[in-house]
Structure 1
Amino acid sequence: MKVVLALGSNLGDRFDTLQGALDSLFDSRELEFVAVSPVYETDPVGGPDQGAYLNVVVIARSDLEPRMLLDRAQSVENAFGRVRVERWGARTLDVDLISVGNVVSDDPELTLPHPRAHERAFVLVPWVRADPDAVLGGRSVADLLSGLDQEYVRLRPDLTLQSPE
């Protein structure tokens, strides 16, 4: 199944954290790397006053069940010092599971597709760059993006993540 993950960081060495997280996510054969978007710097949306994020979207393939993918994502977050104190607060690393194949789930612990992805330019802008033909909820990601404010999502051409080895 195609797996879409959104990664973000706004504490510490944001770029090194994203590179380390990318490498960690793919350190086993259970998740196959397909593509990673360019790096974007984004203003925080909602939550308390905090610094800018670096964001990317990663496309992968996997036969793992969605719950196992979530466990893997949270394990990587924890390895990079993620602390859940304040909702939408600053974080060393955030790994969101955006979609897993055509799986639809309304489980409060793992809603798929991600319930707010369609309204988040900081997810959709990098996603469409990583996968121009992407679809979410039956609509193209490019179409979903056309109705959103994208001014706060800035390409960082000076930062390029290396594909995991």
Structure 2
Amino acid sequence: MTDRVCITGVQAQGVHGVLPEERTYSQPFIVDISAEVETPEAARTDSVGYTVSYADLAADAVEVVTGESVNLIETLADRIAAKALARGALSATVTVHKPEAPVGTAFQDASVQITRHSPVTDAEAGIRHAVLSLGANLGNTREALGRAVKAIGELDVHVDAVSDYFSTAPLLAPGQEPQPDYLNAVLTLDTALAPYELLAQLQRIEVRGGRVRHERWGARLIDIDIVDFDGIAWANERLMLPHPRAADRLFVLEPWLSIEPEATLGGHRIADIVGSLRSELHEG
């Protein structure tokens, strides 16, 4: 990955330093940020939603510098990098300059530069195992799932297993109009694709299948979610791993259990989670 979003020379005043007198007045700080991102989908769609905005990076840097006082510019850099990663950067290199540092001699600049990597990037070596959930409740649902499975198999992946299809009632918000039942399945695969790249390609398959994102829990021609990606725990605005609601959804867990009886989610056996959910339904 060589794509980067960069912004340099972000200026803000802050009260930071080790010396007591540095905690009594504000000083200028200058921040440079270089964020490693995956830009192909942003370029294809011409949408900032598929990249990291340099305006957001700048705003985050200003928020950190003008915020809580700390001793070290290393701490400022670390906090700024963490915010960049939370926005979806795979890695972030941050330089914090302190041009008026109390050095005691003539100098041009004092700075620190750090690089931080997201957990997604750190886990990105070799082939990894992913679990996908598929669902549809409009049109010919069986054909829709079949087309989606075929399209996924044409990606740079090895499909390990596809569950049988399970018919389930839709989840509806209070007052929401009734919908047809869903047909659901789970697919497991191995891939060298990065999580964000896999996500982008799955969303492209959804679009080709007629998916329109306009209503939460709305009826769908096709829906594809990444349930788990090699056990990685990760959350930001673009992707949450594992899927935050998978552990509550029998229509995900039961198909998954049928093809991977020993699978775990968040450190818990799928079989145990399914047993608990079934007991709750029976008691309810």
Pairwise same-fold verdict (TM > 0.5): yes
TM-score under structure 1 normalisation? 0.87
TM-score under structure 2 normalisation? 0.51
Q: Which residue of the other structure, out of 29, 47, 51, is the alignment partner of 2:180?
A: 51
Cα deviation for residue 149 of structure 1 reads 3.8
Residue 50 of structure 1: SS of its match in structure 2?
coil
AA partner of residue 165 (structure 2): V
Asked if 1 retains the 8 angstrom alpha-carbon contact of 2:134 and 2:224, the reply is yes
Cα deviation for residue 102 of structure 1 reads 2.2
- Give 4+ residue runs of structure 1 displaced > 4 Å after superposition: none
Query: Which residue in 2 is equivalent to 1:144?
Result: 273
Query: Which residue in 1 is equivalent to 2:51?
Result: none
Q: Which residue of the other structure, out of 56, 59, 63, is the alignment partner of 2:192?
A: 63
Q: Which residue of the other structure, out of 110, 114, 120, is the alignment partner of 2:239?
A: 110
C-alpha root-mean-square deviation of aligned residues, in Å?
1.6
Matched, 1:96 2:225: yes
Matched, 1:84 2:193: no
Matched, 1:123 2:232: no
Structure 1 segments unaligned to the other structure (5+ residues): 153-165
AA partner of residue 54 (structure 1): L
Per-residue deviation, residues 33-92 of structure 1 (Å, max 9, x unmatched): 100111100000133321100000001001111101110110110010001111110000
Cα deviation for residue 130 of structure 1 reads 1.4
- State the identity as a percent: 39
Residue 277 of structure 2: SS of its match in structure 1?
coil
Larger Rg: 2
Asked if 1 retains the 8 angstrom alpha-carbon contact of 2:148 and 2:205, the reply is yes
Q: Which residue of the other structure, out of 145, 163, 166, is the alignment partner of 1:37?
A: 163
Aligned pairs, how many?
A: 151
Q: Which residue of the other structure, out of 13, 17, 20, is the alignment partner of 2:147?
A: 20
Structure 2 segments unaligned to the other structure (5+ residues): 1-127
AA partner of residue 255 (structure 2): P
Distance 2:229 2:239 in 1: 11
Residue 115 of structure 1: SS of its match in structure 2?
coil
Asked if 1 retains the 8 angstrom alpha-carbon contact of 2:163 and 2:185, the reply is yes
AA partner of residue 258 (structure 2): R
